[in-house]
Every structure is written in structure tokens, then in C-alpha cells.
A and B are shown apart, each in its own frame.
Chain A
Amino acid sequence: NAGVTQTPKFRVLKTGQSMTLLCAQDMNHEYMYWYRQDPGMGLRLIHYSVGEGTTAKGEVPDGYNVSRLKKQNFLLGLESAAPSQTSVYFCASSPRGQGKNYEQYFGPGTRLTVT
């Protein structure tokens, strides 16, 4: 099992450019999440999905879009990157089940810099 993988690992964008971050999991998990991690801010949830074809907003969704066309993949898009989106982005997944759905498995992260 590869677990949760993220592509790319690093990226530098210019303001206004767009990009898509890919998250893939091979554990057949129902739930998937995108977080950003910034110094002093902890983890903040951007968007999440409770199943294929469904997505929902987290606490900081502005400037991001997501799609979950396949159960194993969760894509995070930045349509017009801004310097405020410089961050480390983590994808996570978790299985369905009482209590189990909060045991999240994290990817290694994508370090994004917007200049």
C-alpha cells in the first residue's frame, strides 16, 4: 500500500497562474480532506469530501476548488494563485465508521510558493 500520495511535492507559481494538486489514496477510504498548514496557524481545512462525487467547504475555501470524480482521487485547484496561498498543503483520507472516520491518514505534503 502506498497510502496517501500527493503530486507534486514542490511548486513555485507566479501570481495569477493556476495549478492542480493531486491526491490519491489506495485504502478505499470514503472521506478525503485538503488542509493547509501555515506557521502559527495550525491545520486549516480547505475542502473535504464524504464520498465520490461529493465535496463540501471547510473553514478556508476561498480561492480553491476541488473535485472527487473517482473515489481514490481528490483534486485541489487554484484558479488564480495569490501570495497568500503560499503554504504547505496536506491531503488526508479516512474510512467510514464510528470513530474510525476521524483517524485520518495524511500524505507527505506539497510545498507551494506563490511569488
Chain B
Amino acid sequence: AQSVAQPEDQVNVAEGNPLTVKCTYSVSGNPYLFWYVQYPNRGLQFLLKYITGDNLVKGSYGFEAEFNKSQTSFHLKKPSALVSDSALYFCAVRGQNAGNNRKLIWGLGTSLAVNP
């Protein structure tokens, strides 16, 4: 079965330090992987995606993510965290089976807190 796991409910990091939000997935075949961010009391916003090509994907607001096929991971990273990065982050993978191939399968989210 296809699934996405975000093993950390919460990540705390000091402003200026690098941050990593983890995501692992389970799919058959080649995955399409996505990161979204949700700021308080707002809808989700698309950050970046991996479909094919370079394993390091760059996205909005200085975020990047590294696709690692052998570890089935797609961790979100940023070299220097800002307080304004504090938000809820969701990893998602494209559904592949008949019936869900136009949908995203979502992780449960990781709350990122960047401390000043």
C-alpha cells in the first residue's frame, strides 16, 4: 500500500541554524513527491516537488529537498532557518493505484518551530 510517513510531530530549531523535516514514503514504481507548508489559520501552499531528474530539488522561500531512492526518503531542508518559517509542513506522494491516481497521499504533518 502507498503511504507517507513524517516521523517527527514537531521539530525545533534556532534561527540561523539549518533545518531538516523528514519524510519517508512507500510506493511502487517511481514516486512523485511533494512538500506543502501551512501557516497558521491559512490553507496549504505548494513548496516543491520531485518527479524526475536531479535528486536535489529547490523550491520556494529558500527550501530544498533531497530525494533518496535507496532510503525512500524526501527530506525538506533549509540552510538557515527564519522565525517566519514556523509552520506546519506536509509531505505527500502521488497516488498510483487505479482509483487514486489523480490524488495525493498525505503525511500527517510536522510542526516546525524556529526560535529567535
Contact = CB atoms under 8 A, between A and B. Distances in A.
A4 B46 CA distance: 14
A5 to B, nearest CB: 10
Interface residues of B, number: 21
A99 B108 contact: no
B63 interface: no
Contact size range, A: 20 to 34
Interface centre among B43, B45, B108 (most CB of A within 10 A): B43
Contacts of B42: 108-109
A26 B32 CA distance: 26
A74 interface: no
Interface stretch (A12-20, A41-49, A63-71, A79-87): A41-49
B104 interface: yes
Given A42-B108, A43-B90, A99-B32, A106 B43 contact: yes
Contacts of A109: 41-43
Contacts of B32: 99, 102
Interface in A53-108: 58, 90, 92, 98-99, 101-108
